[in-house]
Every structure is written in structure tokens, then in C-alpha cells.
Amino acid sequence: MFHEESFYGYLSLERRFSPHTLTAYRGDLQNFIAHCTEQQCLTSATEVRHLHIRTWIIALMQEGQSARSIIRRLSCLKTYFRFLKKRGLLERDPMQKVVAPKMGKRLPVFVQEPQMAALFTHVGFGEDYRGKLHRLVLELLYATGIRRSEASQLKISDIDFSRSVLHITGKGKKERFAPIARYLVDLLEDFIGIRHNTFPATAEPWLLLNRKGERLSPESIYHIVHEHLSAVTTVEQRSPHVLRHSFATHLSNHGADLNAIKELLGHSNLAATQIYMHNSIERLIKVYEQAHPKGKEAED
């Protein structure tokens, strides 16, 4: 037995993982269990040894999986085997002898400021409910740096119009507050008005509703962002997380304190936020090379 259903329940009820993370962990564990049963002829988690996990890693690499993807999958296994040991279902943790593949640093992908400005000034969204919804989704993600799952879970009651503050429930039910600029307050008030006219009888508390009057899913938010970013940028990734990266990078470029960015993003530690400093440093290096006499000499 692999006790996978008990593990999923633990992640959901005790660890309070988001639906998106739960789906990823479920896929990772199912892939590993399939490898164990089909390739290694194992029938229980107690039979798994570190060599079985290493063989799985090699198989993933042969499939073309990136080091980043494999490390994410191994993170699932670490949590899984710790859970089994904690429940007394396993005596030894096979992950202790497993070495993850090394991964080079990858800077976050973001959209340049002129392209973001073009998105909101030159792209026509329309004045109907769909157009207002699409624009608000993009404005919210870029102006606050929230995740798509957090945007999907926003309620009208989470908006404090008197203080111009948004209440956000993040990963692990952690709560934080994000300031919202005057223009976004106006957009929110306008959207809530057209939302009421479009769905006058709805009792749904969610801010963002789809055309059926139901909560807008994280998947729908992804498709909205991908559609409209394609009109202004050629970056390969056009996901809601790119807008989150853009939010943080642009704040860093304009001198925002790293600790403040950390709080706005809802990061649990500063190390996760420091990647945005690299983009700022790269920008400063280019400015130096272009403008400083010694910098120009270095290029000659």
C-alpha cells in the first residue's frame, strides 16, 4: 500500500495546500507510484529505497524533464515520506540518501514597463461585462502582485474602500493586506456596479464572476492573462505569475524596499524575494555601461 489518499487528505486538511498545489502533488506522486509498480515491481511504500528514487530521477531526465521540474517532484516525495514516517507507516525515510539535480539560477520572467502601459492604454477591452472583467483581472494582478488563486478567492467584502486596502488570503490561509491606488478603487467600484446589473439576483460573495455568475476559476484567470499579454509582449511565458514578477520587478527598479516587496507578495522569507534584486542589478549594469566613461571603455 502507498497510502496516497491519506496523504492527500493530510495536505488538504492539515497543511491547507491550495487546490493548485494539491493537483501538482497528486500528479507527482501518481507518476512516482506508477514508476514503482510498473518499472520496479513494488507493492508498498515500505519497499521503496533510495535507489528506486534515483532510478525514477534518471527516467524523468531521459524524458526531458528540467532540473527545476524534477526538484519540484522531489519536494513532493520529501513531504510524502515524512508524512508516512510521522504516521508510523514507515521506519526509514529513503529520501535521506537522495541528491537532487543541481539547478542554475533562473531570473523571473517579467513584462517591461512600456509594454504594461501599452496593455492598459492601447488594448481595447470593451465596455460590456466581459471587457470590464478582463481589464480588472489584469489590473488587479499587476497592481497588487496577487496570485491567480488569491484573485479567484477575493470577495467583495475583502475590499476596504474607506482605507483603500485589499484583504488577501494567501497560501496556507495566511492573511495580508495590499494598498490599492485611487485608479484601482475607481475600477473596482465601476466593476461592482456592472456586476450587480449583470447578475442582480446573485448571492455569490466572490468579486470575480464568470459569464454564468459563478466564481471565476484560476484556470480562467490564466486564459484571460495569456490572451491579452500576447497582444503586447513576445515573452514566452504569458501567465498570471508573469504579472506578479512584473509587479515585484518594477517596484524594485523604482527603489522599493525589499522587505516591503516581501510583505506585499506574501513571501514567508526574504530569500524568495531577493531574486527580484538581480533584475534591478542587471538594469543598473546596463545603465553604467551606457552612461559612464569607464563603462564605455570596457565595451571598446
First to last CA, the chain: 66
Q: For residue 59, give the C-alpha cell.
A: 527516467
CA distance 122 to 231: 10
Q: Which of 73, 148, 228, 267 is catalytic?
A: 267
Q: Which of 3, 54, 241, 278 is catalytic?
A: 241
Please state, in angstroms and as integers, the Cα–Cα distance from residue 17 to each residue in 7, 125, 144, 197, following that order: 12, 34, 22, 35
Is 8 one of the catalytic residues?
Answer: no
Please indicate whether the domains covering 4-97 and 113-287 agree at the CATH topology level.
no
Residue carrying C-alpha cell 500528479: 27
Q: Which of 10, 80, 142, 276 is catalytic?
A: 276
CA distance 254 to 250: 6
Closest CA to 25 of 85, 73, 84: 73
Is 171 one of the catalytic residues?
Answer: yes
Q: Which of 73, 244, 245, 250 is catalytic?
A: 244
Q: Which of 52, 132, 147, 262 is catalytic?
A: 147
Residues 6+ apart with CB under 8 A from 131: 124, 125
Question: 4-97 has which CATH code?
Answer: 1.10.150.130
Closest CA to 52 of 95, 15, 82: 95
- Per the CATH hierarchy, to which homologous superfamily does domain 113-287 belong? Intergrase catalytic core (1.10.443.10)
Q: Which of 171, 176, 226, 278 is catalytic?
A: 171
Q: Does the reported pTM lie above 0.75?
A: no
Is 147 one of the catalytic residues?
Answer: yes
Q: List the pLDDT tens digit at each of the 300 positions of the chain.
A: 999 999 999 999 999 998 889 999 999 999 999 999 999 999 999 999 999 999 999 899 889 888 889 999 999 999 999 999 999 999 999 999 898 887 666 667 889 999 999 999 988 899 999 999 999 999 999 999 999 999 999 999 999 999 999 999 988 888 999 999 999 999 999 999 999 999 999 999 999 999 999 999 999 999 999 999 998 988 878 999 999 999 998 998 888 888 898 999 988 877 777 777 665 555 556 655 666 665 555 444
The domain ranges of the chain are: 4-97, 113-287
Is 85 one of the catalytic residues?
Answer: no
The DSSP bridge pattern shows strands 175-179 and 159-160 to be unpaired
Is 176 one of the catalytic residues?
Answer: no
Helical H segments across the chain, by residue range = 4-9, 19-38, 50-62, 67-86, 113-121, 129-144, 148-152, 182-198, 218-229, 240-253, 258-265, 275-291, 293-299
Is 276 one of the catalytic residues?
Answer: yes
